[in-house]
Structure 1
């Protein structure tokens, strides 16, 4: 195996330009870990926040570091010779950054419980776009909100990476989905299963949504107090599930004061759940949408695209041919 590999490196917090391409040591494989050759990785909002000094930046203890949670690629080293996934097999998954080096690199080491076989119907580009966003959406919509027939669920930022999976999972399990997004994305979201789409640029959602059972909040109070306003659309005893809690420091107190239920949510790199999602993707019950693809050399542009807030679905970085 090579001693070094090419990667996008971060030396200190900063803007997208803080990411540089350079060489870093090839990852060690210990215990029940894989080493995977990365064909594609995706960019998530948490990556951009961490790069800027927020997110999980405080848990990075040495530099340069490599970011990137999602990957799709080919097994180079397996945990043991009789493991079902062997060198040459195509896999995808999620790296627990910053405990491990990230996927903006030619190779990545990853715990075996976080790796599953790539759906045969998906390219590496499509597969790399799925893990973190799909696992987050599944956790919020299926595990916490328990999406079911007859449930009314409002999903904010329905056209984003997590949002477009959340719309599909909620619809798949029978919920009546109301999504917020800009108007030009309405027909696309309806094709994914949204029963209603509210154009947030022209309509205040709290003026048209009443008695919702659940709000899936992927925005918080980062803009126009979306999180706080969401409390008024819930029925008594309704549930608000919030992902970006950092933008809403009074979240727990505000939910309690309104007499509602609420919880934050943090995604886990759970291969068993990802395997279920993989079956839905392979069968075509759920689709992943890739908005833009960048080569690794343009990782800064990929981060800038995600930070623009206007992408539909996911932004993916192509690391190698495959």
Structure 2
């Protein structure tokens, strides 16, 4: 890079001190990326947080692989849309979750292989329909709350649940015959973790 080149700033350290809403600022060189040709200022300002969050969750944390069925909540938002695109780039199968059926066509156009609208469909039933009865391999929860219980019901045993890009939980006991269901979970008992022989264990402090 040379003086005058268009760039993108990644996460700014000590943002309250350095700031970024200014004509001039000083940041470490490691926080500066060359802006790709054809990417405008508005897109450049918005793309980093959404894409880095989705990439960190699906690639760095979940190690998503080609063919994985990836369930993405809040898929209409910026991070959700980025996750749909990244899943497609990997060769995975993104299943978008939205609250309103009116957004279905838009999400399919954005790259979702299937859309589950919670205003008229049950998440677990719909996901099993779209996965041949197996359940989702990766669940990216961008909402975090009571709906996590329904997501766990939609997971296959051994699936990975991610909240944002920091929490990774493996679900071994799901629904039938396990004695443990997503219905038993709450925000502080995230999911069942461990090996299949440890299906009674629940995490109260999500791992970092």
Which TM class, normalised by the smaller chain length? 0.7 to 0.9
2:144 paired residue among 220, 230, 246: 220
Contact kept? 1:239, 1:260, Cα under 8 Å: no
Contact kept? 2:93, 2:113, Cα under 8 Å: yes
2:114 is aligned with 1:176 = no
Cα distance in structure 2, aligned partners of 1:200 and 1:264: 29
- Structure 1 201/96 Cα, relative in aligned 2: closer, same or farther at 3 Å? farther
Matches within 5 A, 1:272-283: none
RMSD: 2.8
TM-score, normalised to structure 2's length? Answer: 0.74
Matches within 5 A, 1:85-104: 85-94=1-10, 95-98=12-15, 100-104=17-21
User: Which has a greater percent of strand?
Assistant: 1
- List per-residue Cα deviations over 1:146-202 (Å, max 9, x = no partner): 222221110001111111100000011111111012323222222222110111222
| Long gaps (5+) in structure 2 | 129-134, 168-185, 194-198
Displacement of 1:243: 1.4
2:151 is aligned with 1:230 = yes
Counterpart of 2:192 in 1: which secondary structure?
A: helix
- List per-residue Cα deviations over 1:197-256 (Å, max 9, x = no partner): 1112222312322311110110110xxx1122211111111100111889x75154x333
2:164 is aligned with 1:243 = yes
Matches within 5 A, 1:96-115: 96-98=13-15, 100-115=17-32
Give the aligned partner of residue 279 of structure 1.
Answer: none
Contact kept? 1:152, 1:213, Cα under 8 Å: yes
- Structure 1 233/104 Cα, relative in aligned 2: closer, same or farther at 3 Å? same
Give the aligned partner of residue 176 of structure 2.
Answer: none
Give the aligned partner of residue 126 of structure 1.
Answer: 43
Counterpart of 1:107 in 2: which secondary structure?
A: coil
Contact kept? 2:61, 2:165, Cα under 8 Å: no
- Structure 1 136/245 Cα, relative in aligned 2: closer, same or farther at 3 Å? closer
| Long gaps (5+) in structure 1 | 1-84, 266-322
Contact kept? 1:171, 1:177, Cα under 8 Å: yes
Displacement of 1:264: 6.5
Q: Looking at both structures, which has the greater relative contact order when contacts are Cα pairs under 8 Å and sequence separation is at least 6?
A: 1
Give the aligned partner of residue 66 of structure 1.
Answer: none
Displacement of 1:99: 6.5
TM-score, normalised to structure 1's length? Answer: 0.49
Counterpart of 1:214 in 2: which secondary structure?
A: strand
- Structure 1 140/244 Cα, relative in aligned 2: closer, same or farther at 3 Å? closer
Cα distance in structure 1, aligned partners of 2:42 and 2:34: 15
Give the aligned partner of residue 126 of structure 2.
Answer: 208
Cα distance in structure 1, aligned partners of 2:35 and 2:7: 4
Give the aligned partner of residue 143 of structure 1.
Answer: 60
Contact kept? 2:189, 2:202, Cα under 8 Å: no
